[in-house]
Structure 1
């Protein structure tokens, strides 16, 4: 199985590191899982204008195809102004309606305020559901205070445990989908 993580943060390292921690946790649970991190900071993803995918640049085309080829996905977003990042929303605007059918779509969010812990549940989850993605029962919100200020490593044990539980549930659900008859 191939698990692709998408960091939808246009700046900073926290979201990318949190998504990567889910990928690492998944590989520790099952070493046969292949992982890839797509950090949107490393790509020139064009603004979605409703054109066919072939009309966009190579970076945009490649990122979309990597995500479509994945067996399952984990999305990461910082919370800006009580919303997901515009960069992540723009990326999602490039996909067709059934893009994530039969795929588990996990969610990780980072933010400065505990008041934002429901943003992924009420904003990103409906978008992923629209694309027919199956979302696990729990998403992971990580407060910025859970990171080491110098290394941005997650130092909050509870946050790390939630990441491990998310990886476990994602693998369990995706195996169930893959084994359906």
Structure 2
């Protein structure tokens, strides 16, 4: 199974801190899986111009291909100005319309205010559903007050991320079983 942890912003550290915790936890529990962390601040990504994702070069091609090859994607995103960052939206724009088909996607959302908790529901989930992802229903929402000196200080956040990871891989196992039954029904 290919797992991608995507830190969906090219600025800031809070989302990356949460994604790094999730990746470290996955390394403990899912040690036999292929895992890649994509921190968008570390790549030079072109803006989508409508080309097929295979036609891009460099970092843009690498990030798009890595996401397309993933079975499970854990998206970390901050909320800026009551919206997802343009860098994350650009990643979705680079991919085909059904580019997330049959992928299990879960979300970790960071925000400076509790008033932004619905951005994932109203903006991110509809994009993921449109792109045919199997979205883990619950997501982790982390507020500014949960951090201090570039560390998560709220133990509940760790528990919620742990539970999100459990839910993500439970959903992945269920969909793998369903797909095996569908494939077996064809008889070839």
- 1:101 partnered with 2:101: yes
Rounded to whole Å, the distance in 1 between the matches of 2:34 and 2:23 is 9
- The worse-fitting range, judged by mean Cα deviation, of 157-166 and 28-37 is 28-37
Query: Which residue of structure 2 aligns with residue 145 of structure 1?
Result: 145
Distance 1:3 1:146 in 2: 26
Q: Which aligned runs of 4 or more in structure 1 are off by greater than 6 angstroms?
A: none
- Unpaired runs of at least 5, structure 1: none
Q: Distance in 2 between matches of 1:75 and 1:43?
A: 16
TM-score (norm 1): 0.93
Residue number in structure 1 paired with 2:172? 174
Instruction: Indicate whether 1:118 and 2:149 are aligned.
Output: no
Q: Does residue 73 of the first structure (1) align with residue 73 of the second (2)?
A: yes
Measured on the aligned residues, the alpha-carbon RMSD in Å equals 1.3
Matched residue, 2:158? 160
- Contact 1:26–1:168 (CA under 8 A) maintained in structure 2: no
**Would you tell me which structure has more helix in proportion to its own residues?**
2
- Partner SS for 1:38: strand
Q: Secondary structure at the match of 1:109?
A: strand
Kindly report which structure 2 residues correspond to 1:12-27, keeping only aligned pairs within 5 A, or say none: 12-27=12-27
Q: Give how far 1:44 is off.
A: 0.7
Q: Secondary structure at the match of 1:60?
A: helix
Contact 2:7 2:15 in 1 (8 A): yes
CA distance in 2, matches of 1:75, 1:3: 11
Q: TM-score, normalised by structure 2?
A: 0.90
Cα deviation, 1:31-78, whole Å, max 9, x if unaligned, reads: 223321100111110011112224423110110001111111011111
Unaligned runs of 5+ in 2: 182-188
State the number of aligned residues: 179
Partner residue, 1:90: 90
**Residues in 1 aligned to 2:55 and 2:136: alpha-carbon distance in whole angstroms:** 34
SS at match of 1:179: helix
Q: What is the SS of the residue equivalent to 1:5?
A: strand
